[in-house]
Amino acid sequence: MTRIKICGLFQPQDVDFVNQARPDWCGFVLRFPKSHRNITTEQLRTLRARLAAGVTPVGVFVDQPAEAVAALLEEGLISVAQLHGHEDGAYIARLRALAPGKPIWRAFRVQSPADVRAAEDCPADLVLLDGGQGAGRAFDWSLVRAVRRPYLLAGGLTAERIPEAIAALHPYGVDLSSGVETGRQKDREKILAAVAAARKEG
C-alpha cells in the first residue's frame, strides 16, 4: 500500500481535516520562520493534543540543534524527525544517540543524478525526494526511476497527480503540502481527495 503524509499543519482546523482523512502521517514545520506553516513548540503541543490516534506526527526541521529535535522526540510530541537542512551523517548519528529508536527521515532536493546518489547513500531510515523546500514544484521523475531504497515522493503533487506518480514510480509514500492548500490554507476537500487517491492507487 502506498502511504501518504499531509505536511505543514499549522492551524487547529488542519488537524481536524487530517483526523477525518486519516493519512499515515502528518507533518509540522517547527522553528522555521521562512515558512508560512511554521509553528512554535507551544503551538505544536496544542495541535498534537488535538490529533487523533493512528496518525503519526512528524516534525520537520531545518538545521536545528540535534538536542532540540531529540527533546521533542523523547517527549512524544513527534514520532519522527524529518530533516530538511544540511544535516549530514554525523548529525544523524548524534540524533540517533540522543533519541534511540526514533525514526529519522532526510529530505533531498532532486536536481541531478548526484542528488539521487546522495539520497541512496544517506544513513537516515527513510529519504524524501522533493523538488524544493516546500515550494510545491515537481522535479524530473526520470531521475529517480532506478532508486533502490524506499522513499517518499514530494514536490508538485496533488490528488490528481497521485495516480500518475504511483503508477510511474511506485514510491513507498507520497507527501503533500501546498498541493492540499487553497490560498496558502489547508483545504479539507483537497486533503480528503489526496488521501482517497493514495489509498485507491496503493
Q: What's this model's pTM, rounded to 2 decimal places?
A: 0.96
Please write the tens of the pLDDT for every residue from 19-37.
999 999 999 999 999 999 9
CATH homologous superfamily of 3-201: Aldolase class I (3.20.20.70)
Going from the C-alpha of 134 to that of each of 74, 121, 137, 180, the distances in angstroms are 26, 23, 8, 12
Give 138's contacts (C-beta < 8 A, 6+ positions apart): 131, 155, 156, 157, 161
DSSP class of 49: H
What's the mean per-residue pLDDT of the chain? 95
At 174 the three-state DSSP class reads strand
Please write the tens of the pLDDT for every residue from 114-162.
999 999 999 999 999 998 655 566 889 999 998 999 999 999 999 999 9
pLDDT band at 88 (very low <50, low <70, confident <90, very high): very high
The CA R_g of the chain, rounded to the nearest whole Å, is 16
The pLDDT of 166-194, averaged and rounded, is 97
What CA dihedral angle connects 57, 62, 66 and 69, to 10 degrees?
Answer: -20
Domain boundaries, the chain: 3-201
